Structure 1
Amino acid sequence: MIQAIKLTAGKAFPTIEATQLDGTITNMGKAHGDADWQMLVVYRGKHCPLCLRYLNLLETHQAALKAIGISVSAISADSKAQLEESMDQLTITYPIAYGLTEQQMQQLGLYISTPRSEQETEHNFAEPGLFVINEQGLLQAINISNTPFLRPELAVIVRGLNFVRNQENYPIRGNLIY
């Protein structure tokens, strides 16, 4: 039996490298553009309409996140071909990567599912996760779900992160380990 990893708020985000459609290898936990914080959204893949809808909704909040210094990226275990097919349904401008490995899923403490059929997908995939990494590379906020319909509401996340970013020395919450 594999021991599940639980990431702890306030600890360093693991190095997760992945490939974008243009071939760029990216450290998914690093902020980009003018931002100093990074939000990484892990989604199930092209087979999940709820995920694709969430990614499109995330695009509508990207300007508000950028205004408070947070860049956005997304990743799944899909292949390059699957991500290319997904792009027909996505209206996003933030970086999106493919090829998240099961080892990386485990590093992130994500729930992993097997496909119901070959029509869904041919590989195991990660269930949703959302990670906010601060300027020190530490996990500021974590949300992990075992199903695509239990995701945090993006407008609430933006308001909360706006509050945190505008406080002096706001502590990372939930970092006590028992």
Structure 2
Amino acid sequence: MSNSATNKLHPGTKFPEFTLPLLNGEMRTLGKPHNGCDWQLVLIYRGRHCPLCTKYMNQLQILKDDFKKIGVDIIAVSGDSKAQLEAHLEQLTADYAIAYGLSLEQMKAYGLYISDPRSEQETDHPFSEPGLFVINAQGNIQVVDISNNPFVRPELDALRSGLAWIRNPDNNYPIRGMHVY
């Protein structure tokens, strides 16, 4: 049994910014919102081989405008290659930004769990398990969810309504999980 320790990112800390390509050739920095938003949801998914990722990404598309209304931009990324992302688009309804080419070093910097493929039919490279980060206007991690398998992910409508509540200044809601011990 190998030691696969991960270095988890903590709420309230700066989100590591990595710049990755989109299919149109544009470069996007994870953690830097676009589309007139000041927060960003960074969805890290396993890759084209994962039907649960495809379903989750298509569900996120349905709520995309609701996230934008509360000032939250969306970007998804995986360790897939450009060709794998192009092939995945046949199954996706998503029109939000999707980057590709997340490296093992970047996966480790985000504290993600990393898996090896079960076979060459699954995929041709180690891949990250799901991670979801919400980055606030200061570039800090407001919300973090990291899983070691594709079956456990935040319910997207609950996340959207929770972020709307957090973003309401009348609620004065702090970043949670900041107790020092």
TM-score normalised according to structure 2 size: 0.95
| Match of residue 156 from structure 2 | 154
| Match of residue 96 from structure 2 | 94
Q: Segments of 4+ in structure 1 off by > 4 A?
A: none
Shift of 1:175: 1.7
Shift of 1:10: 0.3
- 1:52-106 Cα offsets, whole Å, 9 max, x none, are 1100000011111100000000000000000000000001110001000000000
| Match of residue 74 from structure 2 | 72
| Match of residue 60 from structure 2 | 58
> What CA distance in whole angstroms lies between the structure 1 residues aligned with 2:56 and 2:33?
20
Determine if the alignment matches structure 1 residue 175 to structure 2 residue 163.
Answer: no
Shift of 1:2: 6.3
Indicate the SS of the match to 2:169: coil
How many residues are aligned here? 178
Aligned partner letter, 1:126: S
Gaps of 5+ in 1: none
The 5-angstrom pairing of residues 1-178 of structure 1 reads: 3-168=5-170, 169-178=172-181
Aligned partner letter, 1:102: L
> What CA distance in whole angstroms lies between the structure 2 residues aligned with 1:80 and 1:107?
22
TM-score normalised according to structure 1 size: 0.97
Shift of 1:177: 3.9
Aligned partner letter, 1:113: S
Indicate the SS of the match to 2:11: coil
- 1:123-150 Cα offsets, whole Å, 9 max, x none, are 0000000000000000000000001110
Gaps of 5+ in 2: none
Indicate the SS of the match to 2:175: coil
> What CA distance in whole angstroms lies between the structure 1 residues aligned with 2:43 and 2:180?
24
